[in-house]
Amino acid sequence: MEENKIKETTENTLKKGIEVTLKNLTKEFVDKTGKVTVAVDDFNVVIPSGKLIGLLGPSGCGKSTTLYMIAGLHKPTAGNIFFGDEDVTLLPPEKRGIGLVFQNYALYPHMTVKQNILFPLENMKIPKVEALVRAQEMAELVHIGELMERKPSQLSGGQQQRVAIARALVKYPRVLLLDEPLSNLDARLRLQTREEIRRIQRETGITTVFVTHDQEEAMSISDEIIVMNEGLQQQMEPPQMVYDNPVNLFVAKFLGNPPINVIEGKIKSKKLMLKNTVVLEENCDFADQDVSIGIRPEFFVIDEKGKIPATIEIVEHIGRDNMIISKIDGYENSFRAIVPSGLGLAPGEKIKFNYSKIFVFNKETGRRLI
């Protein structure tokens, strides 16, 4: 009876989810010599309640700093953070109702799994029985219910990370914050654990921010991704939309494996041209300018009537498809195309490519034009 009541409370508490708003959020670090690093630059984001958001970007772009400001571990230089309507900018971490999971699990090695999960409840006035029920429930949620008496050293990396997640959830946080939680796991465990995180997030409905520099990881589990670069937010949308419609060259290059091909070209008299006078598109309604043309490997089509003349250098067999590495006539760098296998292509062969889709960016600013 008692147990059921507690379970119901857990579900109600966790399922609520809460919207998180970052408003003009900025963090500058000043080192001893007075040099200023703008780690996060005027960030404006609404993280919808109950969603899993992937915060994605290269090393040093400000992901952890953003997360730690949401957690309350870093004080913003400027801007505000709201949980729902509540301005939490000045609240200390323990009053925010967040659960935080780091890359290195940070479990207490001398404590059992159960003691580790119970630890955050120690300073709360929660009856022992309720605390134990909660701990067991969280352990079951992350599928480690039968490991409660073990020490962290007797667990696999993936199990340790699940203990860390249970520990983060046991206080019924309003927001779950994960900083590269999978990077210490091997490839297979990483895949498994990311699916677990997705499941746990769906089951609890807790608003979650998941930091990673791995584009595939972010794309695979996020409802939406925020792409960051040099402290600046680049784009926030569902993963497929970011992939299909990158706002700039940085985002286009950051998503996709193998990466997008970038070929220098120009717009002249409304024609989109490769530098060696091949016309790709007519009627481009833009001023004359140098551009970077982005073509994803899967956008290429081999076609006798294709506009792009190229010479094959290497043919790689990658299962169902072939990866063709070629040089465009008149260009130095090679590009990759994924085409169906069985076309009988060989190195040295001259072919023509067409494309199913193309992105065009201003060469200097990287802003997307087409």
Ligand X SMILES: Nc1ncnc2c1ncn2[C@@H]1O[C@H](COP(=O)(O)OP(=O)(O)OP(=O)(O)O)[C@@H](O)[C@H]1O
Name the residue with the smallest CB distance to Mg ion.
64
142: which 2 tokens?
């992350």
Please provide the size of the chain in residues: 370
> Pick from Mg ion, ligand X, none: which does 54 bind, CB < 5 to 8 A by kind?
none
Choose between 70 and 274: whose C-beta lies nearer to ligand X.
Answer: 70
Q: How far is the CB of 228 from Mg ion (least distance, A)?
A: 11
> Pick from Mg ion, ligand X, none: which does 326 bind, CB < 5 to 8 A by kind?
none
> Pick from ligand X, Mg ion, none: which does 29 bind, CB < 5 to 8 A by kind?
ligand X
Q: How far is the CB of 253 from ligand X (least distance, A)?
A: 17
SS (H, E, C) 9-20: HHHHHHHCCCCE
Please, are residues 278 and 308 in contact by the beta-carbon 8 Å criterion? yes
Query: By 3-state DSSP, what share of the chain in percent is helix, strand and coil, each rounded to 5?
Result: 30, 35, 35
Choose between 155 and 228: whose C-beta lies nearer to ligand X.
Answer: 228
Q: How far is the CB of 103 from ligand X (least distance, A)?
A: 8
Residue ranges binding ligand X (CB under 6 A): 29, 31, 37, 39, 57, 59-65, 213
Please, are residues 22 and 29 in contact by the beta-carbon 8 Å criterion? no
Site string for Mg ion, 50-89 (x = CB under 5 A): --------------x-------------------------
> Pick from ligand X, Mg ion, none: which does 246 bind, CB < 5 to 8 A by kind?
none
Please, are residues 58 and 68 in contact by the beta-carbon 8 Å criterion? no
Q: Which of 265, 340, 369 is nearest to 307 (CA)?
A: 265
Under rule CB under 5 A, residue 229 binds Mg ion: no
Rounded Cα distance between 65 and 83, Å, is: 18
Burial (Cβ within 10 Å: 0-12, 13-18, ≥19) of residue 330: exposed
Under rule CB under 5 A, residue 212 binds Mg ion: no
Under rule CB under 5 A, residue 193 binds Mg ion: no
Is residue 278 classed as helix, strand or coil in its secondary structure?
coil
Residues forming the site for Mg ion (CB under 5 A): 64
